[in-house]
Amino acid sequence: MDTERFITIRRKLHQIPEPGFQEYKTQQFILDFIDGLPKERLEVQTWKTGVLIKVPGLNPRKTIGYRTDMDGLPISEETSYEFTSVHNGYMHACGHDLHMTIALGLLDHFVHQPVDDHLLFIFQPAEEGPGGALPLLQSEEFQAVKPDMMLALHIAPEYPVGTVAVKEGLLFANTSELFIDLKGKGGHAAYPHLANDMVVATSHLVTQLQSVVSRNIDPLDSTVITVGKITGGTKQNIIAETARLEGTIRTLSSASMIKVKSRIEAIIKGIEASFECEAAIDYGSNYYQVCNHEELTKEFISFLESSKPADFYRCREAMTGEDFGYFLKEIPGFMFWLGVDCEYGLHHSRIEPKEEAIPVALRTLSTYIEWKATSQ
């Protein structure tokens, strides 16, 4: 495989991060790449800003799906790259540029060296939100080419290059976004007794939320509530009439997700009463847990151990979320971590995944898919 060519592709994709369902340039980039491939061996269709590409097999018994996400994040890039994002305030800080590059590398490989089974390459929009997997899965376009098994990977800054980390069963958490709007009464900073200050109410709310994980959830059932953003008020000497809190909830069990939400709702009622304000909660998009298929994952681990395309590491579950979980709820398959060894983690403005991981992923997935699509 021509590694340099795919590193160039990764850098070009890195420069054009776009929000979920607005991946217009990214979609065009993928379609232009496909234009350079032999068309008689491809069936291409678009779905919103995504792309589905079928590579028909030579002696098909099943369809193997490979999914990549496409969207970027609202982060102002601070890497040392010469090829930083040209979209101000947006960055590929979760590796979707590498994920897409690996999918294109596999597509290129299998168009030129077809296997017995059909392959389906899925470029899915909006993984970071509001979630493209569920509507794509339910679409007529996807249902018409629905694979029998599905694969995906995610970059892992904490593992060395050359490593693939995976486990059977639960890999990623259930997630729910969390948006809370508070409305009180604004006023002059010098007359607090005539107003209901939503900065103070929000501060109490954030502190009270900390008690949900520590006091209401079984400590053996991991749960996270993170408030990532608070906005409110207009000026230093004006009491804030409104405030907004934005966060995310992560739970390993579905039961804990229900419990967390009911505790948040109770706390909000208390905030409304004690600060004489109104509150509205919106849970935004919710992702189903990523649960790897037991047998297929075991078989992949055996493949890694016997063929050694990469070093295998058995990981634990993580509190990250991924809407790939919706595919795995219906279609057997698995997701794995790809080591990219970098100092800064996912969603950080300085993340610089090592590009040497691209050939590792291409070698691992091309040999595994070749084996799976001919021998099984």
Ligand X SMILES: CC(=O)N[C@@H](CCC[C@H](N)C(=O)O)C(=O)O
The binding site comprises: 94, 96, 128, 154, 347
Per the CB < 8 A criterion, the answer to whether 293 and 148 are in contact is no
What is the DSSP code string of 134-198? HHHHHSHHHHTT--SEEEEEEEETTS-TTEEEE-SEEEE-EEEEEEEEEE-B-EETT-GGGSB-H
- Scanning the structure block, which residue is given the tokens 């995976």? 166
The whole-angstrom separation of Cα 51 and Cα 67 is: 10
By CB under 6 A, residue 97 contacts ligand X: no
79, 175, 196, 256: which one binds ligand X (CB under 6 A): 175
Per the CB < 8 A criterion, the answer to whether 39 and 130 are in contact is no
Which of these ranges, 37-45, 256-264, 317-325, 337-345, lies near ligand X under the rule CB under 6 A? 317-325
Cα separations (Å) of 86 from 5, 28, 76, 233, 277? 21, 16, 10, 32, 42
Choose between 303 and 313: whose C-beta lies nearer to ligand X.
313
By CB under 6 A, residue 69 contacts ligand X: no
By CB under 6 A, residue 157 contacts ligand X: no
Choose between 110 and 159: whose C-beta lies nearer to ligand X.
159
Both tokens assigned to 145: 């080419």
Name the active-site residue from 18, 69, 108, 117.
Answer: 69
DSSP label of 73: B
By CB under 6 A, residue 165 contacts ligand X: no
Q: Is 276 a residue of the active site?
A: no
17, 57, 105, 129: which one binds ligand X (CB under 6 A): 129
63, 124, 248, 297: which one binds ligand X (CB under 6 A): 248
- Residues annotated in a binding site for Mn(2+): 94, 96, 128, 154, 347
Interaction with ligand X in 99-128: which residues (CB under 6 A)? 128
Per the CB < 8 A criterion, the answer to whether 207 and 352 are in contact is no
Instruction: State the sign of the Cα–Cα–Cα–Cα dihedral 333, 162, 117, 97.
Output: positive
Minimum CB separation of residue 178 from ligand X in Å reads 8
DSSP label of 234: S
Which one, of 221, 125, 126, lies nearest residue 174 by Cα?
A: 221
Minimum CB separation of residue 124 from ligand X in Å reads 13
Minimum CB separation of residue 295 from ligand X in Å reads 25
Amino acid 204 reads: H
By CB under 6 A, residue 336 contacts ligand X: no
Is residue 148 classed exposed, middle or buried when 0-12, 13-18 and 19+ CB atoms within 10 A define those classes? middle
By CB under 6 A, residue 18 contacts ligand X: no
66, 90, 275, 287: which one binds ligand X (CB under 6 A): 287
Q: Is 311 a residue of the active site?
A: no
Per the CB < 8 A criterion, the answer to whether 15 and 85 are in contact is yes
67, 154, 167, 263: which one binds ligand X (CB under 6 A): 154
Which x/- pattern, by CB under 6 A, does the window 197-236 give for ligand X?
A: ----------------------------------------
By CB under 6 A, residue 320 contacts ligand X: yes
By CB under 6 A, residue 71 contacts ligand X: no
Residues with Cβ < 8 Å from 193, sequence gap 6 or more? none
Name the active-site residue from 108, 128, 177, 341.
Answer: 128
23, 117, 322, 341: which one binds ligand X (CB under 6 A): 322
Both tokens assigned to 251: 């739970």
Choose between 134 and 198: whose C-beta lies nearer to ligand X.
134
- Scanning the structure block, which residue is given the tokens 């009270």? 208
By CB under 6 A, residue 177 contacts ligand X: yes
Which of these ranges, 23-31, 182-190, 315-323, 335-343, lies near ligand X under the rule CB under 6 A? 315-323
Q: Name the residues annotated as catalytic.
A: 69, 128
* Residues near ligand X, by CB under 6 A: 94, 128-129, 154, 175, 177, 248, 285, 287, 320-322, 346
